[in-house]
Every structure is written in C-alpha cells, then in structure tokens.
Structure 1
Amino acid sequence: MTQATDRPTRRLSDAGVSIWLDDLSRERLDTGNLAALVESHDVVGVTTNPTIFAGALSAGNAYDGTLAELAGTDVEDAVERITTDDVRRAADVLRGVYDATGTVDGRVSIEVDPRLAHDTDATAATARRLWATVDRPNVMIKIPATLEGLPAISATLAAGISVNVTLIFSLERYRAVMDAFLTGLEQARANGHDLAPIGSVASFFVSRVDAAVDARLDEIGTDEARALRGTAAIANARLAYAAYEEVFSSERWSSLRDAGAQPQRPLWASTGVKNPDYPDTLYVTELVAPGVVNTMPQATLDAVADHGEIAGDTVSGRAQEAADTIAAVEAQGISMDEVTARLEAEGVSKFEVSWDELLTTTKNGLDAAGA
C-alpha cells in the first residue's frame, strides 16, 4: 500500500516551500483579495517591482482618489507615496503571518528606483529612506544584484534592514550575493543589531533563462539541440540550491546562526511559464525544496492550486544531473555566462522602462486630477 506521505499533495507548505504572490495593487487591498489569498492559496508574502506598479496604476480607477489628493505634487514624490502606501497596507495584511512564523514569512517587498542599479551609495540611501517611510518590520527592500548593488546589499543589512536581492541569473553572481549577505550580517552584529528579525531572500530568476537559451537552441535547430529545450532554467536553479546548501552549512554561517540570524533563502522568481508548450506549473513542481520561496503571478498561483501535484523535494541531490544538463547546453556552443550577463542587463533595462511608464502614468493622473 502506498503511504500517505508518498502521495502527491497540492500544498507546497507541506514540502517546506513558502508561497509569495508576485503582484500587488490598490484593488487587491481595497477588495480584500490579498487577505483572501492568504486563506485560500497559502500566500505568506508579496513581491512587487516597477512593472507591477506600472500595471496596477494604469488599470482601473483605484488610484483616482489618491491622485486627486496628490495633484500638484512632484511626480517622483507621488510615485513614492503611492507605492509605499500600498506596501505598508500589504505589510499590515500579512503582519499576522509575520508574527506567527517568527518573522520568517509575512514579508512584502518594495524595490529601489531601478535607475540607481549601478550607483551603490544612492541605492543604499534610498533603501534606508524606503525602510523608514514604510515603517513596518515585515517590509523587505529590493536591491538588484548588479556589481554595484552588492556593497549596497551589505550596507543595508548592516543597518538592520531586511533585503530582497533581485535579478540574479548566474551561479557566480549568486555566490557573490550570499557573500554580501554574510558580510552585511557580520556588520549588523558588530553594529549591535538584533539579527533575528533581519530577513533576506535571494531572487533567482528562472523562466527568462529558458526563454533565452531555448531561442539559441532553436537557432541551432538540430535534434540534439531541440531535446535540451526547457532544461537550462531548472538545472541552473538546482545548482543554485546546491550552492545555498554549501554556503549555509559553513562555519562562517554557523557563527551568525548561533547569534540568532535567519538564512538568506533562495526565492524562485520569474516562475510564470513563457512557453505555452510547457506545463503551467513547471517552475513550481520541479523546484520544490525545503526552505525556499516561490513567488508566483496570479495565473501560476491559480494553476498550482487547481492541478499542481507536489510530490516532495525535486531539487536536493540533483546537482550532478543539473551540472550535466548545463554542460550539454554549453556543448551546443551556448555560453551560460553570456546568457546570464545579458539577462541581467536586460532585466535592469526593463525595470527602468517600467519605472518611466510608472512616472508617465502618474504624471498623467496628477495632471488630470488638477485640471
């Protein structure tokens, strides 16, 4: 007889995975939708980015009252007011989760202006301002994992501020992010901060890797190349998890853990499937491992709730298999270093474009409200 523990389950939490929603809007807050998802879909966190806010502001009229109130305000100040208000309200919705999980989950992220991605000092200063403005212990400040972002990550953590590191694509950069995290906590301890409530996740992007690699495999066009489609992203993420296990079993980490620190959890980002030929839960069911976060757009969240079969850990112990997959991809003449470097640059650029759209939409709303 099959044991109950061997049966597929649709509860990621049973497998040690935390579900965060990759979306936020005033409408979700006003209607109680976010609170409902906490109950119905096991959502225990929220991530945001400039693209999400730009979409929320341009859809419907949920922000009309705020725009009228802010008419005549500088557009950048208005954007910060709108986004921090939404994040503060979401943090209040999730405060019960934050308390119940001992400050591990119940987190809501807000991103530093992406135009500062290559300015260390400005990023760190903006992170401190956003932290003070939102003024909630369960907020996380999102900082991109650019080379210039790494010291800003350490400086922000050293100030006792929780950080969501975003736009991680390569294993080399992920290791640098973990080093920046450990450095930041060491400095926070030296600065006298309580390490226990300082949270951090490392947002490792998934589907964009397949989109980029698959396009190159299609250009090659051989049967051998086509057979590798849809394999690179999951392999890349599984290798990242192996690196996480290595770093967070080190003596350096043990010293911080003994001082009360939480580990920086891997967060699988960009988990919505971009290729309709792939299962819509692919980047969830194939990346189940203890202690990870999976942040999902609404469509993926619904798909997992409806038909996602979570059979247990699908990551641990598969590093060699993943390494072999990446080696096979590179044997086709595809450089993963080149792919991930381009994805990072494109990621920053796309968020800058979304930020400009957010500014334009806000300005138009302010102008209309003041007319």
Structure 2
Amino acid sequence: MTETTGNPLDRLTGAGVAVWLDDLSRELLRRGDLAQLVADLDVVGVTTNPTIFASALAKGDAYDAQLSELASAGADVDAAVFAITTDDVREAADVLRPVYDATDTVDGRVSIEVDPRLAHDTRGTIDSAKALWAAVDRPNVFIKIPATLEGLPAITAVLGEGISVNVTLIFSLERYAAVMDAFLEGLEKARDNGYDLRTIGSVASFFVSRVDAAIDPRLDALGTPEAAALRGKAAIANARLAFGLYEEVVAGDRWQGVAEHGAHPQRPLWASTGVKDPAYRDTVYVEELVAEGTVNTMPSSTLHAFADHGVVRGDTVAGTQQESARVVADLAALGIDLDEVTRDLEVEGLQKFEKSWDDLLSTVSAGLAQVAR
C-alpha cells in the first residue's frame, strides 16, 4: 500500500490506531498544550506513570500553590501525592471528555496508576484502584494495574465492579494471555453484577522498546553476523505475536459472550514506543506496529517526530506471525531466551516505577517542608 497525502498522525488515525500521549503535567494542562494536542495532533488519550509525575513535580513552580494549601491543611506526603496526581488526571479527563463522548466511551481516556509498591499485594491494589476511581470521579479514567501475578486477580475484581482498567507492564506473551483471561473474567463478573458493559473500558499495555534495549547488547556481545542481523527485531516481533494472541481471543466464543452485552474489546496498547537506540529510526515503534484497533501511546518527542516525518504504510502487523516467530526462534538458537528476558524486564520495570515513586514522595515532602517555613 502506498502512502497517501495528509498529516502523518491523521493517516495513523485513519489506519485504526488511536494516538495517545504518554505524558502529563500541570503546565501541559494550564498552558492549554494538551487541548492543543487534541485539536491539532489527533491525540485521543493520555497515559501517566510514577516517572511522569515525578518529573512533572520536579520542574518549575506549577504545584507550589497546591503544596501550600496541603501543608496548611496538615496533609502528609502520601495524601499530598494522592491529591496532586488525582487533580491532574481529573483535569486532563475533563479536557478529553468530548473525545470520550464522540467515540462512544472508547477513547478520551486518561490513566492513573496504583501505588507501584502494591504490585505484589492483590488486596492493596484493589483498594487503591477503588480509591483512585472515586477520587478522580470521571467515567473516562483508566486505573493502571501492573500485570504481576498478584495483579491479575485484582484486575478481574476491579473490572467486576465496573471500574475501567489499563493493565500495564506487560512484556511476555504468556503473561499477556493471562491478562486477557483476567479481563474476560472481570467482564463476566461485571455482567453478572448488573453493570452496563458498554461503560467499562480496558487496554493492555504491551511494552516494546525495552525489549530491544535488553536484547541488543547481548547480540552485540556475540559479535556474529547472525546476531547483528537480529538487532532491533525482537521487540517488534514480540508485539506482533501479542497481537496474534489478541486476534485469537476476540474471535473466540468467550469474547462473544460479553460482546453481545455491549462490551468493548481490551485493545492492545503499544507502550514504551520511544526509541532508546539512536541508530534506529525515531518512529520505528509506531510505523512497524500499525494495526486497526490498537493504541500507541507516545512520549512527546515521538509524537512530534511522527507528526513531522512518520510514514504509514497501512497495516504492518497482519501476515507477520510466521516471520515474528522465526525471529524468536533465531534468538533462541543464539542462546537468548525471550521468556527469560521479559521476566527480568518485569522485575526491572517495577523497580524503576518504585524508584520514581520514591522520588515523587521525596519531591513532594521537600515541597511541603519548603512552603511550611
């Protein structure tokens, strides 16, 4: 398929990919930048995580007034972080509400993550998700829950109570299959509990670039032509295989059992799509994962790069299952076990988010102390 004329993001949207922004800050909201991105660059959703909030709080003085109010009210650091992050997400949800209404609740969503320290605490995750859902109090919010083994029953329980969920930190095909099962079980519970399935949304955030960032150095260390030929192929192959699993699920009878009650599919969301190796094209993890019914959440740099020079060649996922499986087999022949790599990436991802959460707590604690003087 040849590329048509028009803005690259318009063409990406036309190919069935929802464009989301992986960033949020009070400055982005108050300056009107988020609204501008929705109007001009086809942005129809926002994702956040502890790293994004930690970065936002560490810059400028946009949060000083609220910190002063919180300090005067005697709020502790956990309460302050909760108030600040839910306020930002609520305001962003209001900006995206027209998109939510126009897309029949599918897009116009803003995600906020449970405390990452609860990743191995099922009950704590459920309670945190409920608290965040109630505090933001907007129908177009997603509660992000990590796809840990302990997170899976929390996903089911939360969906079963009518709460929309963004399942995050998915790296492996095995875990992704378990996530889709947890999603279906959650919708079945919600149906049986009397909830309107048309209002419950979910995406499954499958991480991309971190896979190449973990595997490419191993290939480089091997130093063979066979290894060099596989650089930059693992992440895209892994994601394409994940989409194949998704297609199997939505073609199945179990999905039809909830779809007939108005349920929306749990769309695959390509996360971590910023390029970490400057040798690669800066839009590669967008261009090579174009498939109708998916979401691509991009950091601001990737979003603007794609708007400038992104290429849409039509569907770049269909018909790639055999080729993708061969990449995984070729990696295994070189002694690189993709399952082992993705297990390590889950542990590392949680550690990074916990570190960012600690940074966020420290920044807010220092801010509270400063304004209290």
TM-score of the aligned structures, taking structure 2 as reference length: 0.98
CA distance in 1, matches of 2:14, 2:340: 37
Q: Partner residue of 1:32?
A: 32
CA distance in 2, matches of 1:8, 1:20: 22
Partner AA of 2:202 in structure 1: S
Q: Partner residue of 1:19?
A: 19
Partner AA of 1:192 in structure 2: G
Q: Partner residue of 2:165?
A: 163
Q: Partner residue of 1:210?
A: 212
CA distance in 2, matches of 1:283, 1:57: 28
CA distance in 2, matches of 1:128, 1:248: 28
Q: Partner residue of 1:352?
A: 354
**Match of residue 113, structure 2, among 111, 114, 123:** 111
SS state of the match for residue 366, structure 1? Answer: helix
CA distance in 2, matches of 1:8, 1:33: 26
1:57 and 2:54 matched: no
CA distance in 2, matches of 1:129, 1:317: 43
* Partner deviation per Cα, 1:13-38 (whole Å, 9 max, x = no partner): 10000000000000001100000000
Q: Matches of residues 194-343 of structure 1 in structure 2 within 5 Å?
A: 194-343=196-345
* Contact 1:20/1:295 (8 A) holds in 2: yes
Shift of 1:8: 6.5
Moved over 2 A (4+): 5-9
* Partner deviation per Cα, 1:129-161 (whole Å, 9 max, x = no partner): 100000000000000000000000000000000
CA distance in 1, matches of 2:19, 2:188: 29
CA distance in 1, matches of 2:102, 2:180: 26
* Partner deviation per Cα, 1:62-118 (whole Å, 9 max, x = no partner): 111111111131000000000000000000000000000000000000000000000
CA distance in 1, matches of 2:224, 2:313: 33
Shift of 1:7: 3.1
SS state of the match for residue 197, structure 2? Answer: coil
Q: Partner residue of 2:42?
A: 42
CA distance in 2, matches of 1:256, 1:137: 20
Shift of 1:291: 0.2
1:75 and 2:72 matched: no
Partner AA of 1:32 in structure 2: G
SS state of the match for residue 142, structure 2? Answer: strand
Partner AA of 1:117 in structure 2: A
* Percent identity for Structure 1 against Structure 2: 68
SS state of the match for residue 271, structure 1? Answer: coil
Shift of 1:225: 0.5
* Contact 1:8/1:309 (8 A) holds in 2: no
* Alignment RMSD: 0.9
CA distance in 1, matches of 2:152, 2:220: 35
CA distance in 2, matches of 1:13, 1:338: 35
CA distance in 2, matches of 1:136, 1:74: 25
Partner AA of 1:14 in structure 2: G
Q: Partner residue of 1:181?
A: 183
CA distance in 2, matches of 1:315, 1:308: 17
Partner AA of 1:52 in structure 2: I
CA distance in 2, matches of 1:292, 1:236: 15
* Contact 2:197/2:263 (8 A) holds in 1: yes
Where does the alignment leave 5 or more consecutive residues of structure 1 unmatched?
none
Give aligned pairs, total.
Answer: 368
Partner AA of 2:4 in structure 1: R
CA distance in 1, matches of 2:5, 2:175: 34
* Contact 2:3/2:312 (8 A) holds in 1: no
Shift of 1:303: 0.5
Q: Partner residue of 2:87?
A: 85
* Contact 2:114/2:128 (8 A) holds in 1: yes
Where does the alignment leave 5 or more consecutive residues of structure 2 unmatched?
none
CA distance in 2, matches of 1:342, 1:225: 21
Q: Partner residue of 1:130?
A: 132
CA distance in 1, matches of 2:49, 2:298: 13
Q: Which moved more, 1:328-337 or 1:290-299?
A: 328-337
CA distance in 2, matches of 1:264, 1:16: 15
Shift of 1:204: 0.1
CA distance in 2, matches of 1:293, 1:62: 30
* Contact 2:166/2:203 (8 A) holds in 1: yes
Partner AA of 2:19 in structure 1: I
Shift of 1:46: 0.2
